[in-house]
Amino acid sequence: MSNRTFTMIKPDATSKGYTGAILDQIIKEGYSVKAMKWTKLTTEQAGLFYDIHRERPFFGELVNFMSSGPIVAAILEKENAVEDFRTLIGATNPANAAEGTIRKNFAASIGENAVHGSDSDENAQIEGDFFFSKLERF
């Protein structure tokens, strides 16, 4: 277990001014920030990041949404980070997300759902490597 996960605060949440509140909730849950950047994906970069979903009917919508505005990308560390962070963010569709989760608190819809969280240690590593060099992790 790596005890690290990768997250993005998505364009819906950054544009609504939720960045600070979401980071506050994450840090209060005991995660420490190992890398962080404010950036914006091109459609090509968003397509590469979500390559696993390329055949899904919502792929075009997802890529357009994820490249529509700035995001915050971050590597977070805590014991059992991947699994606990998935619990903290809640279900993909905020309508099904538990009370108090980040998606329940801040997400609008299944597509525009405020945050990303890696679903395995392996993907946390791959996704962190997508955004950060060794020099950008502390």
Instruction: Quote the CA–CA distance of 61 and 13 in Å, as a whole number.
Output: 17
The structure tokens 């994906």 sit at: 41
Q: Is 116 a catalytic residue?
A: yes
Catalytic one of 14, 116, 127, 131: 116
In the complex, minimum distance from the CB of residue 121 to ligand GDP, in angstroms, rounded to a whole number: 15
Residue nearest to ligand GDP (CB): 111
Q: Which of 25/113 has CB closer to ligand GDP?
A: 113
Instruction: Quote the CA–CA distance of 138 and 128 in Å, as a whole number.
Output: 13
| Residues at the site binding ligand GDP, with contacts judged by CB under 6 A | 58, 61-62, 92, 110-111, 113, 116, 119
Q: Which of 29/138 has CB closer to ligand GDP?
A: 29
In the complex, minimum distance from the CB of residue 92 to ligand GDP, in angstroms, rounded to a whole number: 3
Instruction: Quote the CA–CA distance of 103 and 113 in Å, as a whole number.
Output: 6
DSSP string, 5-43: EEEEE-HHHHHTT-HHHHHHHHHHTT-EEEEEEEE---H
Q: Which of 80/96 has CB closer to ligand GDP?
A: 96
Q: Report the catalytic residues.
A: 116
